[in-house]
Amino acid sequence: MSVVGLLLSVAIARRSSVSEFSTFAIAMSLYLLVNGCIRSAITETTLSLEHSSTSDRRGFERASIAALFAAVGLVIGSLIFESLYMVVLGLSIHGLTALDYSRTVNSALFDAEVALKQGLSWSIAVAIVALTSFAIPVAPIVVFSTWAGVGALVGYISLWVGGYSWRPIWPRNRQHTGAAMFFSLDYLAGSGGSLLSTNLLPLAINASAVGAIRGAGTVLGPIGLLSTTARSLTISYLSRARAVSSQHEFKSALAVTTALLCAVGPLALSLAFLPDGIGSFLLGESWTPASSVLLPLALESVLALVGSIAAAGHRSRMAGTRSLALRAAVGIPRPFAIVVAATSFGLEGAVWTMAAIAALNVVVWWISYWRLTRVETP
């Protein structure tokens, strides 16, 4: 979760009821699921298989049609569930996809400075409205609409300035289509599976479960920020360590994990037992349901960080097939296990199951990584 994402969640939580925050949480989970799937299936596939500026700019055509399908689904869903947040998201998801696509392509191939300006333009506008809501009453839907609307506007301006083609078509290309299917399945078996599990909870319990998890995730946001940065840096660090020996690489991974645990462990513990006064200030009415799931979700966050170091080691070794197999083995049963636990034991059963799956994930990834490093790199 980004800093602006944290501000958005806090601003909406402080001014909304538990019910409204839960509705917002479902919309945000759907956005993250759609955005992550399109980025993995289309944006990253385009960057991997095609390398000319023309093909990368035309690659948005595939993202465009996928986003339009998502928009239709969100609008229909909003009518069924009577969610104004889903209406706003459905109307803006195409523009938000445009922003994510152009920003990712600019970061990877064209101009990182442009990508930074895109992000800042969006972030500053959202931060102003979010911080203003701390001082004067601002309706939560206004804050969310600012986030969605400004993001979509910046996305469309980026397409126009960058010369991207935004026709909603899917050009025939077996290699591209096959890779898109592979990467989307990879995403859904991994981080997308976590979001899918969360979105299925209203079917097993009620919508407030998603709000509780989103609220706890907001409080635990600093751990997510540290984890994201650490994972990015670890891949290159382990690649350099492998140049010495595989044994040195594995020991380096253990050292990094120990250092991160020393930093993140106390932080997670303090956030899990955050005083009610601070929690209520941050989340308003939503603090009560969120506080009940903080401990297991804090544990899950720490375990996810530990597992991500071993996953980074797999990536540094380009062990793509092995990584997909591991993600599928743990990730595919995950939504079913969590829904069954939620049905049988309620929200607490669901979140403790999440923590247990994260622990299993740690064991599976580290055993696999240990076996990989048993063979010396030539």
Residues 299-307 have a mean pLDDT of 93
Q: What is the rounded end-to-end Cα distance, in angstroms, of the chain?
A: 39
**Residues of the chain above pLDDT 70, percent:** 93
Q: What is the pLDDT of residues 85-107, one digit of tens each?
A: 999 999 999 999 999 998 888 87
Better-scored residue on pLDDT, 367 or 204: 367
Q: How confident is the model at residue 61 (pLDDT cuts 50, 70, 90)?
A: confident
Q: How confident is the model at residue 178 (pLDDT cuts 50, 70, 90)?
A: confident
Q: CA distances (Å), 330 to each of 30, 95, 196, 357, 361, in order?
A: 22, 33, 14, 8, 7
Find, among 7, 350, 107, 320, the residue nearest to 205 by Cα.
350
Handedness of CA 204, 210, 212, 218 (dihedral sign): positive
Average pLDDT, the chain: 87
**How far is Cα 312 from Cα 190, in angstroms, rounded to an integer?**
13
Better-scored residue on pLDDT, 108 or 337: 337
pLDDT at residue 296 above 90? yes
Q: What is the pLDDT of residues 227-266, one digit of tens each?
A: 766 766 787 788 788 888 888 899 999 999 999 999 899 9
What's the full length of the chain, in residues? 378
Tokens 């903080």 belong to 294
Burial of 104 per CB tally in 10 Å (0-12, 13-18, 19+): middle
pLDDT of residue 279: 94
Three-state DSSP state, 73: helix
pLDDT of residue 1: 59
pLDDT at residue 376 above 60? no
Residues 352-373 have a mean pLDDT of 94
pLDDT of residue 378: 47
Residues 111, 53: contact at Cβ < 8 Å? no
**How far is Cα 342 from Cα 200, in angstroms, rounded to an integer?**
10
pLDDT of residue 57: 66
Find, among 142, 152, 147, the residue nearest to 91 by Cα.
152
pLDDT of residue 55: 62
Q: Is 165 left (phi over 0), alpha (psi -120 to 50) or beta?
A: beta
Residues 7, 131: contact at Cβ < 8 Å? yes
How is the chain split into domains, by residue range? 3-177, 208-372
Q: What is the pLDDT of residues 143-168, one digit of tens each?
A: 999 999 999 999 999 988 888 877 78
Residues 338, 350: contact at Cβ < 8 Å? yes
Residues 334, 364: contact at Cβ < 8 Å? no
pLDDT of residue 327: 85
Q: How confident is the model at residue 42 (pLDDT cuts 50, 70, 90)?
A: confident
**How far is Cα 128 from Cα 140, in angstroms, rounded to an integer?**
14
pLDDT at residue 39 above 90? no
Q: What is the pLDDT of residues 184-208, one digit of tens each?
A: 877 887 778 888 888 888 878 887 8
Q: Which helix (H) or strand (E) holds 149?
A: helix 140-162
- The token pair at 124 is 């500053």
pLDDT of residue 51: 55
Q: CA distances (Å), 357 to each of 128, 330, 336, 338, 352, in order?
A: 38, 8, 12, 9, 9
**How far is Cα 73 from Cα 96, in angstroms, rounded to an integer?**
16
**How far is Cα 337 from Cα 335, in angstroms, rounded to an integer?**
6
**Residues of the chain above pLDDT 90, percent:** 50
Better-scored residue on pLDDT, 38 or 108: 38
